[in-house]
Amino acid sequence: ETGVTQSPTHLIKTRGQQVTLRCSSQSGHNTVSWYQQALGQGPQFIFQYYREEENGRGNFPPRFSGLQFPNYSSELNVNALELDDSALYLCASSQGGPPNTGELFFGEGSRLTVL
């Protein structure tokens, strides 16, 4: 069973640039959630995708957008990068969609640094 994989693991961008982060969900999982974890803080929910549709969004501006593909992998796109976007971006997959009683499985994250 393959776990959740994320790429790239580390990247550096400059202000104003755009970034795409990728996530392959665990085999059999159809729900993907994205979280932002700033240094020294807990994760913050960005959005969730279930069967290729956005199924909930946290308090993040529209320049944070996402996609889920038919194989349930997902992308997180961030436009017009700001310094405060520097963080660890976590992808988590789960099975079954709402109501969720299962477990979230997390990848190791993509560490984004914005200069």
Which positions lie near another protein, rule CB under 8 A?
3-4, 31, 33, 35, 40-45, 48, 55-56, 58, 90, 92, 94, 98-101, 103-109
Region for 9 from its dihedrals, namely left if φ exceeds 0, alpha if ψ lies in -120 to 50, beta otherwise: alpha
Rounded distance, CA 72 to CA 93, Å?
9
Q: Nearer to another protein by C-beta: 81 or 109?
A: 109
Least distance from another protein to the Cβ atom of residue 50, Å = 9
Q: Which burial class, exposed, middle or buried, applies to 91 when counting CB atoms under 10 A from its CB (0-12, 13-18, 19+)?
A: buried
Least distance from another protein to the Cβ atom of residue 14, Å = 27
Least distance from another protein to the Cβ atom of residue 35, Å = 8
